[in-house]
Structure 1
Amino acid sequence: MMSRLRGAAPETPPLPAAAGKRQRAAIAIVEGGRILLIHRIKPGKDYYVLPGGGIKRRETAAIACVRETREETGLNVHLGGTLCVLDAKDRVEHVFLARSHAGELRLGGPELAKMGPDNQYRLEWLDREQLQRIKLKPKGLLPHCLALLEHAAGR
């Protein structure tokens, strides 16, 4: 389920388009027994995602993950390995672990620019109990995040 890599993220070649699927890179940042998520609230929808975003052409998933994390959260991260790769019907999600992070947590990038009364983005730290009560996207991500929090707690 979880693989730990020492040092920086491996150098991987840019990803080919997976049969027309969008490619997304995301980060799992754990601190004090909680994981950082983005709470998305818009008319008729209320869900959470890990910080991250689309992988640009000729960009590796690891580089996209670091770039997107900095844009969305203001945090600089060092990657510690891969948590999982989820293949959903319309996209492939590459989820990395943060080995360390620094900076001031603040919403930024396109998310901040698109904020409005009907389109909310909120950075939130959730513990294991809270994580089990929310809608986390993509669907298959929840068991990986729960296992990560258990591992961080030494269970």
Structure 2
Amino acid sequence: MSTKIPRGAAVVVEAGKVLVVKRYLRQATSAECVMCEYAGVPGPECAGHRYAVLPGGHVEEGESAAGAALRELEEETTLTGRIDRLLWTGTHNGRPAYYFLVDDVSGVPELSGDEAAEHGPSNHFELRWADSAELADFGMYPAALREQLVGLLEVSGQAGQP
């Protein structure tokens, strides 16, 4: 079993788009930057990274990955919902990651929590509804998620719902 703290992430689909957190992150040095580390960027300076992630974060002690996905969704976006099902598992910055489809979503997405508090020129957060083409433009991270999300959007578009 991994000693790294798992990550739970929420997949919210609406009208053929998925909700993502579009990011720009720049640290003082590459040694301080987890994105430099996982991109294999040698440094010493962090040039900055533009990418998008799904709403989500670490699983707290005594919490399930599904519970973390819902909690993080509400903390980051103010949206609430319920878990429909586990879509995929993978890794995110070397940590186990669990991706859950969320339905019965209510509210209007608004940046909140730590993301709103830390939002600034070198640590920028923006909530966006992304279609299949925008997932590539935004640099979906981890990269393997882009193909999975495109497939989900195609299926949801054909069926009328995810």
Question: Do the aligned partners of residues 78 and 89 (structure 1) sit closer, same or farther apart at CA in structure 2, a change above 3 Å counting?
Answer: closer
Identity of matched residues, %: 33
Task: Name 2:9's counterpart in structure 1.
Answer: 26
Report the 3-state secondary structure (helix = DSSP H, G, I; strand = E; otherwise coil) of the residue aligned with 1:132. Answer: helix
How many pairs align? 138
Task: Name 1:14's counterpart in structure 2.
Answer: none
Contact between 2:7 and 2:92, CA under 8 Å: does it hold in 1?
no
Question: Do the aligned partners of residues 52 and 88 (structure 1) sit closer, same or farther apart at CA in structure 2, a change above 3 Å counting?
Answer: closer
Question: What's the TM-score once normalised by structure 1's chain length?
Answer: 0.83
Structure with the largest fraction of helix:
2
Q: Please tell me the residue identity of whatever aligns with 1:120.
A: H
Task: Name 1:80's counterpart in structure 2.
Answer: 84
CA RMSD of superposed structures (Å)? 1.4
Segments of structure 2 that go 5 or more residues without pairing to the other structure are 27-47
Q: CA deviation at 1:88?
A: 5.1
Segments of structure 1 that go 5 or more residues without pairing to the other structure are 1-17
Q: CA deviation at 1:21?
A: 2.0
Q: CA deviation at 1:84?
A: 0.1
Task: Name 2:148's counterpart in structure 1.
Answer: 144
Contact between 2:132 and 2:150, CA under 8 Å: does it hold in 1?
yes
CA deviation string 1:61-120 (max 9, x = no partner): 111111110000000011110110003562011000012200121001111111112111
Question: What's the TM-score once normalised by structure 2's chain length?
Answer: 0.80
Distance 2:92 2:125 in 1: 23
Question: Do the aligned partners of residues 89 and 102 (structure 1) sit closer, same or farther apart at CA in structure 2, a change above 3 Å counting?
Answer: closer
Distance 1:125 1:142 in 2: 14
Contact between 2:19 and 2:127, CA under 8 Å: does it hold in 1?
yes
Contact between 1:83 and 1:144, CA under 8 Å: does it hold in 2?
no
Please identify the structure whose Cα radius of gyration is greater: 2
